[in-house]
Amino acid sequence: MPELVSLFSADIPLIMQIEAQCFTDDHWSEKQIQQQLLNVNAINLGIKVQGDLVGYALVGSVLDEAELYQIALLPECQGRGMATELLAQLCQQLAVAGMQRLLLEVRERNVAAIRLYESFGFTQDGRRKGYYASVAGVEDALLYSYRIRG
């Protein structure tokens, strides 16, 4: 059964491994992850299976809004409901912290993530044209929000 845990600096090597497997175009650097884990306005959750870190969510906040910066699960763990469980626990913690909305942006070609967000109850609020650059060219970012119920 998956276990949800807080993330710490000691988890950075494992987070970097997951980043490399999940994000080919724009994964975070070790320095960015370190800064995120040290951010007092952040909630950083990991998900473990049999004691091994298999995914995480990195969130920052300003006033009563939070932004989901990264969410990732190892490919072999996707499609098992773990990302939904991670989002649900994250939203519970955000509600306790007084957050009203969770915002995110996602590449328009990331169909699996879009399905996850929409099935969870996120609403598409906008689009940033040509926001992401990749080897294949530019790609739009879709903007989503979720109203946190506390």
- Coil, strand or helix: which one is 64? coil
- Name the amino acid, one letter, at 145: S
- Coil, strand or helix: which one is 85? helix
8 A C-beta contact, residue 61 and residue 114? no
| Residue tagged active-site, from 19, 105, 132, 146 | 105
3 is catalytic: no
Helix (H) / strand (E) containing 7 = none
The span from the CA of 95 to the CA of 45, in Å, is: 15
117 is catalytic: yes
Catalytic residues: 105, 117
